[in-house]
C-alpha cells in the first residue's frame, strides 16, 4: 500500500455504495472482456487472409495487419482522455462500437472487394485492442489498494479466453456465409461485429455508477495521486527525458519495443505462409490461438519469477525464448506443425520479456510520471510494430518466411548489447 499518496486513508472504498459498484464493475468488465476479445480475435488470423484475398497481395496482408496496430495506437490516448472527462462507460462503449463498425466494414470489404474499406475496417478493429487495454485500468478505479493488481490481472486473464477462441471464428463463420450469401472469410467478422456491438451495450449499461467518476467524486485527484505530468508536448518531452536519464528505463523500453516488433512481424505473415503450405483455416486459427495462449497463459508465472529473481534476469530469459522461436521458425518453415510450435514459442517469449520489462519501466521513473511514461511505452510499441507489420509482407514476398523468422530473432542483439553495456558500467 502506498501511504504517501493518501491511499491508506481512503475509507470511502469501504462504503456500501462503493463496494456494490466495485462488484458490478468487475462483473461487467469480465463479461465485456470475454465478448470483446472474442469479437476482435479474428483479426490476426482471418483478417490477414481476408486482406490477401481482397487485395491479392502479401504486401497488403501486412498493411492490413499494420492498420490494426496503427488503430490501437491512434485511439488509445483519445479514449483515455474521454474517460478522464466523461467516465469509463462512455469511453469503453465508444471503443467497442468503433471495433464493431470496423467488423462491419470488413464484411463490406469482402463483398465489394474494396481495399480502402479493408484498411478502414482493420483500423476500427484496432480500436477494440486499445479498449481492451483501457479496461484493465477500469478494474482498478474502485479496487482496494492491496487488491488492485489482482483486479487488473483478473480482467486481463479472462480476456484471453476470448482471444484464444477468436482466431477460430472462421469455423462458425462458414455456415453464416452460406446462410447470408457472404463471400468466404466474411462470416467471422459478421459474428464479430454482433459480439462487439453487444459488448458496447454491456459496458454502457453495466458500468453504472461509472467507476472512475465515482472515484473522482470521493477523492480529489491531486490528493489521491499527487502531481502528474501535464498532457501535451511539454509532458511528453519530460517523459522522454526521464526515460533517457534512466538506464533501467531505457533497457525496459528497448526490450518492450523489440519484443513487440518481433512478435507482430512474424504473427502477421504466419497465416499467409500456412495457407501457402496447405494449412486449413481451422489449423491456422488453432495456430494463432496457441500463439495467444503462449502470450498470456503463463503471465502470472512470469510475474512471480520477476518478483523473485529480478526483472532483468527474466528479460534475459525472454531473449533466449525469442531466439529459440526464430531458430525453430526458420529451420522448420516447411512444416505447418513446426511453424505452429515456433509461433507458440514466440508468444511465450513476448510474455517473458513484456511482463518484467513493463514492471521495470514503471519502477524506473518517479511515480507521478508513470502514466505518461507507460503511455509512451505503449505508443512506441505499437508504432514500431506497425512498421514491422508493413515491412513483413514485402520481406516475405522477396526473401521467404524462413528469412523473416530469422530476422525477427535478431531483435535480441540490441537488448543483449544494452545489457552488456549496463554490466560493464556497473563493473
**Smallest Cα–Cα separation from 347: which of 286, 389, 287, 293?**
293
Cell 500463439 locates to: 291
Q: CB of 49 within 8 A of CB of 284?
A: yes
C-alpha distances (whole Å) from 422 to each of 317, 322, 386, 415 are 17, 21, 29, 11
Buried b (16+ CB within 10 A) or exposed e, 250-262: bbbbbbbbbbbbb
Q: CB of 285 within 8 A of CB of 167?
A: yes
Name 151's Cβ contacts closer than 8 Å, sequence gap at least 6: 26, 139, 140, 143
Alpha-carbon span 346 to 367, nearest angstrom: 32
Per-residue pLDDT of the chain (427 residues; tens, 9 = 90+): 343 334 445 677 888 888 899 999 999 999 998 899 888 887 766 777 787 778 777 667 667 767 887 888 888 777 776 776 788 899 899 999 999 999 999 999 989 988 889 889 999 998 898 888 778 767 777 877 656 555 656 776 777 776 677 667 767 777 887 888 888 888 888 999 999 999 999 999 999 899 878 877 875 443 544 445 555 444 567 778 888 888 999 998 999 899 989 998 888 888 888 888 777 777 887 888 888 888 888 877 887 788 778 889 989 999 999 999 999 999 988 888 899 999 999 999 998 888 888 878 877 776 456 556 766 777 788 778 778 877 888 888 888 889 999 998 998 999 999 888 766 554 4
**Smallest Cα–Cα separation from 162: which of 31, 253, 354, 58?**
31
Q: Where are the alpha helices (DSSP H) in 56-147?
A: 58-86, 88-112, 115-138
- Residue 359 DSSP one-character state: H
Amino acid at each position: 500500500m502506498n501511504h504517501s499518496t493518501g491511499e491508506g486513508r481512503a475509507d470511502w472504498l469501504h462504503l456500501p455504495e462503493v463496494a456494490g459498484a466495485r462488484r458490478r464493475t468487475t462483473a461487467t468488465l469480465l463479461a465485456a472482456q470475454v465478448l470483446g476479445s472474442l469479437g476482435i480475435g479474428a483479426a490476426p488470423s482471418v483478417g490477414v487472409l481476408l486482406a490477401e484475398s481482397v487485395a491479392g497481395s502479401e504486401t497488403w496482408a501486412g498493411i492490413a495487419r499494420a492498420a490494426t496496430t496503427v488503430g490501437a495506437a491512434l485511439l488509445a490516448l483519445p479514449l483515455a482522455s474521454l474517460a478522464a472527462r466523461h467516465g469509463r462507460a462512455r469511453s469503453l462503449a465508444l471503443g467497442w462500437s468503433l471495433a464493431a463498425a470496423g467488423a462491419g466494414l470488413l464484411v463490406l470489404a469482402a463483398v465489394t472487394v474494396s481495399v480502402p474499406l479493408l484498411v478502414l475496417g482493420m483500423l476500427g478493429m484496432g480500436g477494440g485492442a486499445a479498449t481492451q487495454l483501457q479496461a484493465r485500468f477500469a478494474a482498478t478505479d474502485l479496487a482496494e489498494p492491496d487488491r488492485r493488481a489482482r483486479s487488473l490481472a483478473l480482467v486481463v486473464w479472462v480476456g484471453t479466453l476470448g482471444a484464444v477462441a477468436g482466431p477460430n471464428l472462421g469455423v462458425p463463420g462458414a455456415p453464416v456465409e452460406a446462410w447470408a450469401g457472404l463471400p468466404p472469410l466474411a462470416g467471422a467478422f459478421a459474428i464479430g461485429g454482433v459480439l462487439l456491438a453487444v459488448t458496447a451495450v454491456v459496458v454502457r449499461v453495466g458500468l453504472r455508477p461509472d467507476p472512475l467518476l465515482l472515484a473522482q467524486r470521493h477523492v480529489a485527484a491531486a490528493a489521491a495521486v499527487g502531481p502528474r505530468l501535464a498532457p501535451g508536448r511539454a509532458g511528453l518531452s519530460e517523459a522522454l527525458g526521464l526515460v533517457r536519464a534512466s538506464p533501467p528505463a531505457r533497457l525496459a523500453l528497448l526490450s518492450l519495443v523489440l519484443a513487440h516488433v518481433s512478435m507482430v512481424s512474424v504473427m502477421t505473415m504466419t497465416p499467409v505462409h500456412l495457407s501457402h503450405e496447405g494449412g486449413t483455416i481451422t489449423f491456422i486459427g488453432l495456430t494463432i490461438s496457441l500463439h495467444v495462449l503462449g502470450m498470456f497463459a503463463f503471465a502470472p508465472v512470469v510475474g512471480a519469477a520477476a518478483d523473485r529473481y529480478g526483472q532483468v534476469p527474466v528479460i534475459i530469459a525472454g531473449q533466449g525464448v525469442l531466439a529459440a522461436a526464430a531458430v525453430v521458425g526458420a529451420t522448420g518453415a516447411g512444416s505447418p506443425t513446426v511453424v505452429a510450435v515456433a509461433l507458440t514459442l514466440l508468444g511465450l517469449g513476448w510474455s517473458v520479456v513484456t511482463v518484467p520489462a513493463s514492471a521495470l519501466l514503471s519502477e524506473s521513473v518517479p511515480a507521478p510520471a508513470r502514466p505518461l511514461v507507460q503511455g509512451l511505452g505503449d505508443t512506441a510499441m505499437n508504432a514500431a510494430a506497425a512498421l514491422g507489420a508493413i515491412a513483413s509482407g514485402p520481406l516475405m514476398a522477396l526473401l521467404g518466411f524462413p528469412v523473416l523468422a530469422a530476422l525477427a530473432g535478431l531483435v535480441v542483439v540490441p537488448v543483449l548489447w544494452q545489457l552488456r553495456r549496463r554490466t560493464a558500467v556497473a563493473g
